[in-house]
Amino acid sequence: MAVDTTTAAPSHPEGGDGGGEAVRPLLSGAPAEEEEEELDIRYAPYARRDAYGPMGRGPLSSAQVARLVLAGVVLLPLRLIAGMLLVVAYYLVCRVCTLFAGGVGEGRPRLQGLKREAVLRAGRVLSRAMLFVFGFYWIPVSDRSFPNAEDVPKDHSEELERPGAIVSNHVSYVDILYHMSASSPSFVAKNSVSKLPLIGLISKCLGCIFVQRESRCSDSKGVSGAVTERLHEVSQDENSSMMLLFPEGTTTNGDYLLPFKTGAFLARAPLQPVILRYPYRRFSPAWDSMDGARHVFLLLCQFANYMEVVRLPVYYPSEQEKQDPTVYASNVRKLLATEGNLVLSNLGLAEKRVYHAALNGLLCQS
């Protein structure tokens, strides 16, 4: 584990959700001639270092342009069609399984028995198929154990509480596809997602929590409250799917770990830590400083993409961590950084937006 000493201090204590005025190293008012290299150093967790350069707009050689054009004509359409067919296939599975099922209008169909199993199995299989379509042909997964793992008696370990959520570093939208292929978890989504064609019903069948993030109504439980309630439910009901949580709140270039928000840790439930890495040769699948359409285009135009997964043992919080979610979040964050060889950074979403704005300004001037 390393600590990034070049980044600025966070606007709130590590792991917190923030409660006062944010004091952040914004670049508003910074001179327009500030060099791109200085920006990359200051905002290192979001800097792209692949062949396509900042925001995917870097200069390309003639060979790279020719390769990209060929892939755009041949590979891209095939992958788009195959991906759409997989989404439609999963939608049809969900549609059939929710026929005559209650709770669809409420946002969470009450699926039991074979119907629930069909939705979960289809989700895992089709998500893995989608990853294959995207060029992730082989995904090595390693399980790591700690030196004191054998000190836990087997008869006692069976009585331990079930983990309520998967906690992972966040690098790309591809993260969700992997976790769906591995464990079919539920996750937090904007309320508008539930109304999307095809995706809306799929997300409901997965048991997603839909939140109105901008709502300030008194009857709104908020994201943290909804997550805590669901984690308690998962720990008590083995038929409930684990949640997938990204405590960083945004994506990085995969080499850094941002401060964790405490929402995933308020329930005091055990967690399943998972580390994702994306080795690359030309294009990095990390969704750090690039618009979505350009990123999807370049990802699908790359014949082979790579992902590595490290699954750590279930993390059971100590009494101190149960009493203090900030300590719990900090300790899990340090564990992920150590085991994943990630650099701890104090930057957050606000700095990411500033970095994007500064890059756009530089690119427009060039």
Pairwise CA distance, residues 239 & 184, whole Å: 12
Average pLDDT, integer, range 228-250: 85
The domain of 269 spans 60-145+161-365
| pLDDT value of position 141 | 94
Instruction: Let me know if residue 320 belongs to a domain.
Output: yes
* CA separation for the pair 262, 280 (Å, rounded): 32
- 3-class DSSP state for residue 263? helix
Q: Quick one: DSSP state of residue 190?
A: E
103-206-203-223 Cα dihedral, nearest 10 degrees = 90
- 19-50 b/e (C-beta count within 10 Å ≥ 16 → b): eeeeeebebeeeeeeeeeeebbebbbbbbbeb
Residue 41 lies in a domain: no
What is the pLDDT of the chain when averaged over all its residues? 82
Residue bearing tokens 């080795």: 279
| Band of residue 106 on the pLDDT scale cut at 50, 70, 90 | low
CB 82 within 8 A of CB 42: no
Say what the pLDDT of residue 13 is. Answer: 39
Through-space distance between the first and last CA atoms of the chain, rounded to whole angstroms: 37
Q: Is residue 258 part of a domain?
A: yes
Residues 79 and 134: their CA atoms lie apart, in Å, by: 7
Question: Does residue 110 or residue 65 have the better pLDDT?
Answer: 65
Cα 132 from Cα 3, distance rounded (Å):
35
Query: pLDDT of 35-54, one tens digit each?
Result: 677 888 889 999 988 888 88
| Total count of domains within the chain | 1
User: Is residue 24 in some structural domain?
Assistant: no
Is residue 346 in a domain? Answer: yes
Alpha-carbon distance of 178 to 74, in angstroms, equals 25
pLDDT digits (tens, 9 = 90+) for 188-217: 888 888 888 999 899 988 888 887 755 544
The residue type of 130 is M
Is the residue at 319 inside a domain?
Answer: yes
Is there a domain that residue 79 lies in? yes
Is 135 within the bounds of a domain?
A: yes
